[in-house]
Structure 1
Amino acid sequence: MRDYIPKIIGQESFDRYIGPYMGYDPTVNPSASNVFATAAFRFGHATISTVVRRFNESFQTHEQFTHLRLHHTFFSPWRIVKEGGIEPVLRGLMGTAATSVSTDKLIAEEMTEKLVVLNIQWKLDLAALNLQRGRDHALAGFNDWREFCGLKRLKIKEDFQDVVKDKIIVNKILKMYKNPDNIDVWLGGLVEDHLKDSRNGPLFSCLIAKQMKSIRDGDRFWWEAQGTFTKHQISELSKSSLSRIICDNSKVTEIPLDAFKYGKYPNGFLPCNHIPNINLEAWREKKKTDICDSPADIKNGDFLLFSSSGKLVATLYLLPWFQIKGNRQTECNEKRLE
C-alpha cells in the first residue's frame, strides 16, 4: 500500500481514490471484486520480461549461471536449488528496469506462444486466456467500467484517440470490435495511455485503487486499525519493507532502500545493516505477575491483550454473525479486567 500501489497507479490516483487511513469501516466489503481479480490487476501480465536475469554480487551477469528465456523457467524450481540459489534471481530483478509496456506489443511472446501448463500438451496464449476469462466471468465492457469510474464513455473514434494516442492501435481495435462498447475491459484498460508517474491508464488506476481502499478500510485487523497494535508496535511495523524482507530471508547483502524503485548498481544501494529493521521488543509480553488475570472463556469469540497509555486493555472479537452487547474493550484495574 505504501511502496507499491502509488507506483503502479500514480500518486495523484492514490490521493484521489484511496487517501489517508481513517480507521476501520464495518460497512466496507474487503473481498476482491470480479473486475479487479479478472482484469484490472492482470495489467502485470504486460510487464513480464522475456528474460530472467541472474546477477552476481556486483550486479553483473553471473559468471556461472547465465540469463534464461522465461519459458525455460516454467515449472523448473530445481534451477533455484542447483543453479546458485534465489540470490542471483533477486539481484536480477532489482538490478534490471521493469519492462515498458507498448501498445503495439502488449505481452511478450514467451507468454503468448510458449506458455506451458502442466497436463496440457500444447502451448497456451495468456492474452487469449485473459480475454476469455473476462467473458466467462460476464464482465461488463471497457466503456461501462469507464463510466463506473466517472470517466468519459467512448462513442466515436476521436474519443478513443483521446485516451490512446497510438492511432494504428485505435484503428486495429475498432476494426476488430466495430464499436467501443464491445471492447473487453482487460484490453481497453491495458492500451490506455498511462497517467503521470504510473504504470496504468485512468481506468485500471481507478479500479485498482478502489479495490485497495476496500481491502484496507474493510479489514478490522488492518495493522493501523485502532486496537490492533499499540502505538509502539505500529511505529516498528512502519519500518518494514520488501528490502528488509529480502535481506532477512536471503544472502543478498546490498539492496536499494526501496526494492520497488530501480537504480543502477551501486547508486542507491545500501548494505543490509543500513536497512531499517523491526524491533521485536515492542511485542515482549509482561510477566504474568505484572498483568491482570485473563478474562473468562468467551463463547463464540476471543480476546486480544495489549498495552495502551500504560494500561492493559483487552479487546473482544466475536464471530461475524454475533454481536457484542456493551463495550468491545475493557481496561485492567487493580489486577482485574473489568
Structure 2
Amino acid sequence: MYKFRKNLKSVSTPREAVSNRPLPAVRGLSLTLFSPTATSHPTVTAMFPHWMQFISSDMVNIVETQALIDGHIRAFPCCRRGFSHPECDPIDIPTADPAFRGRLTCLPHARTMVAPKLGCALGPREQANMVSSYLDGSVIYGSNPERAKQMRSFSQGALRTYTSAGELPQADASIKCQVEGRCFLSGSDDANILPGVTALHTVFIKQHNRIARLLREQNRHWPDARLFEETRRVVSAQLQHITYNEFLPILVGRENIKKYGLSLHESGFDSDYDMSIDAAVLNEFAVTFPYVLWSLLPKDPLFTQFNNPSKLFEIRGVEIVLKHLLTTTIAKPALRVNDEVKDEFLKDQFMLGLDLIAIALKRGRDHGVPGYTAVRAQCGLGKVRSFHELKEYFIHDPKVEYINTIYENVDDIDLLVGVLAEQPLKGALFGPTMACIAGKQFQRTRRGDRFW
C-alpha cells in the first residue's frame, strides 16, 4: 500500500505527536469521543454502509503480523503475561474502563504485516494488502488459487452453493462463527461479519450462477473454465458499475465525481487506462474507508450480529434482511458508533470482544499515515493552524470540543477522527477530506486497471 506522504520519525516506528511524545491512548479516544448517539439521515439507507463493507473487502485486507505457534499460524498473544515481541502493540485498557474493568488490562493487537517495497528498495516500512487492490470481484471469487478452487463447483461454470437451504453460499466449519456450523464461505474472510453483508454475498453468488446458465444456453460448446471466466467478467463489471454509478455519487458528491473523472460512459467502452498509474490502495484509504462505515449504522440488532448469519436460514431470510437494509435509514456520519462496535466487536465464547475504533486508530499510526491536518493540506484544502480554526470545518457537536483537550497539537489529530468530525459537502455524505481520499483512490482503481 502507498501513502500521500510518509509521516514517520524513522523508517519503522509508528506516528508520534509533534512533540515526540506518545499520542493519546486509542482506547481513551474511543471512550471519550465516540458515543452511540445518532441523528438519522433523511434518505440514505443501510444498504449504503453494507455495500461499503462489501467493496472494502474487495480492495483492502489488512492482516496483523502472525507467527507459527504449536504448528499453526496464529496471532501473537500480545496480552499474555510474560510474552514479548517487537511486533506487538497492544491496546491498553484504562483502570476504570466501563466495559473491560476488572476483566482485562489490554486488548491484543500486533502491527500490520510488512510488505517489501517495489524493486526491494530501501525506505519506510510498507504494509501488506492481502487482496489485489483492484475492484475485480475477489470479494466473491477469492484472492488466491486455494480460495478460488473452494468457491467453484467445476461444473457448467457455476459456484458451489448449499442448495438444500435455498441456494445459500456453502458452509465452512473452519471460520470463527457465533453459531456453530452456520457461517458461509465466500471470496472474503469478512463474508459473515454482518448478516446484511452475507446477504450481499449470497445475491452475487446466485447472480453468477444465473448468468452462467444463460451463457451456457447460448454457448453449448464452452467448457466449464470458459463459462466461469466469462461469467466472472460480467459480474465484476456489474460490481464496478454499481459502485461508480450509484455508490460513489452519494459518498463524494457529483462535483467530486467530475473532479476525479469517476463518471462512466452510458454505452461503449472506456479508453482512459493509464499504464503509469499504480492501482495499489492508498494507506489513507485503507485506514479510513473500511472503518467510517461503522459510524453510519444505527442502533439495530441486525447491525451487531457479528459472524452470525443465522437470520439467513429462516424462511425467506435473505429477502427479509435485504428488505431491512433498503427500508432502514443510516445515521449521519459523526464521531459515533454503536457500543457493540467498540466493546463487543467479534466477541468470543467468553463474551470478550474488541474495540474496532481503537484498532483503526492504532493501524493509522502503525502505518505512518499523516494526521488529519496534513492530509487535508495535501488534498489542497488549506492548512489548519489552530484548534480554533476547526470550528469552521467540523460539525457542531459537544464531543468535537473535547478534541483540543485530548490532543496536544492540532497536527496530532488522527485522520479517522478528523474525517468523521468534518462537515459534509453539499450533496455528499462525507466532508472534503474523505471525498479527496476516496476520489483519488477510485480514480487510481479505475485508470490503473487494464482489464477495466
What range is the shorter-chain TM-score in?
0.5 to 0.7
Alpha-carbon distance between aligned partners in 1 of 2:429 and 2:350, rounded to the nearest angstrom: 33
1:179 matched to 2:422? The reply is no
Of structures 1 and 2, the larger Rg is shown by 1
8 Å contact 1:30–1:215 — kept in the other structure? yes
Q: 2:327 aligns with which of 72, 95, 108?
A: 95
Alpha-carbon distance between aligned partners in 2 of 1:44 and 1:98, rounded to the nearest angstrom: 10
**TM-score normalised by length of structure 1:** 0.56
Quote the residue 2:251 is aligned against: 8
Alpha-carbon distance between aligned partners in 1 of 2:349 and 2:433, rounded to the nearest angstrom: 36
Quote the residue 1:79 is aligned against: 311
Q: Give the partner amino acid of 1:89.
A: V
Deviations 1:94-149 (A, max 9, x none): 1122222344xx11112122222457752222211111111121211111111110
Q: Deviation of residue 83 (structure 1)?
A: 5.3
Q: How does 1:278-293 map to 2 (within 5 A)?
A: none
Alpha-carbon distance between aligned partners in 2 of 1:139 and 1:209, rounded to the nearest angstrom: 17
Alpha-carbon distance between aligned partners in 2 of 1:102 and 1:200, rounded to the nearest angstrom: 9
Alpha-carbon distance between aligned partners in 2 of 1:77 and 1:19, rounded to the nearest angstrom: 34
Quote the residue 1:109 is aligned against: 339
Alpha-carbon distance between aligned partners in 2 of 1:152 and 1:219, rounded to the nearest angstrom: 31
8 Å contact 1:25–1:217 — kept in the other structure? yes
8 Å contact 1:10–1:198 — kept in the other structure? yes
Q: Deviation of residue 69 (structure 1)?
A: 5.0
1:120–1:140: structure 2 CA closer, same or farther, 3 Å change rule?
farther
SS at match of 2:330: coil
Deviations 1:206-256 (A, max 9, x none): 00010000000011111xxxxxxxxxxxxxxxxxxxxxxxxxxxxxxxxxx
8 Å contact 1:115–1:124 — kept in the other structure? yes
Alpha-carbon distance between aligned partners in 2 of 1:120 and 1:29, rounded to the nearest angstrom: 44
SS at match of 1:193: coil
| Number of residue pairs the alignment of both structures matches | 203
1:216 matched to 2:446? The reply is yes
Q: Deviation of residue 9 (structure 1)?
A: 0.8
Q: Give the partner amino acid of 1:209.
A: G
1:168 matched to 2:417? The reply is no
Q: How does 1:1-338 map to 2 (within 5 A)?
A: 1-20=244-263, 23-51=272-300, 68=301, 70-71=303-304, 73-82=305-314, 84-103=316-335, 106-118=336-348, 122-166=352-396, 168-222=398-452
Alpha-carbon distance between aligned partners in 1 of 2:351 and 2:397, rounded to the nearest angstrom: 38
Quote the residue 1:307 is aligned against: none
Alpha-carbon distance between aligned partners in 1 of 2:285 and 2:350, rounded to the nearest angstrom: 27
8 Å contact 2:395–2:421 — kept in the other structure? no
Q: Deviation of residue 167 (structure 1)?
A: 6.1
Q: 5+ residue gaps in structure 2? A: 1-243, 264-269
**TM-score normalised by length of structure 2:** 0.42
Q: 5+ residue gaps in structure 1? A: 52-67, 223-338
8 Å contact 2:291–2:357 — kept in the other structure? no
The percent of aligned pairs where both chains have the same amino acid is 28
Any runs of at least 4 consecutive aligned residues in structure 1 with deviations exceeding 6 A, and if so which?
none
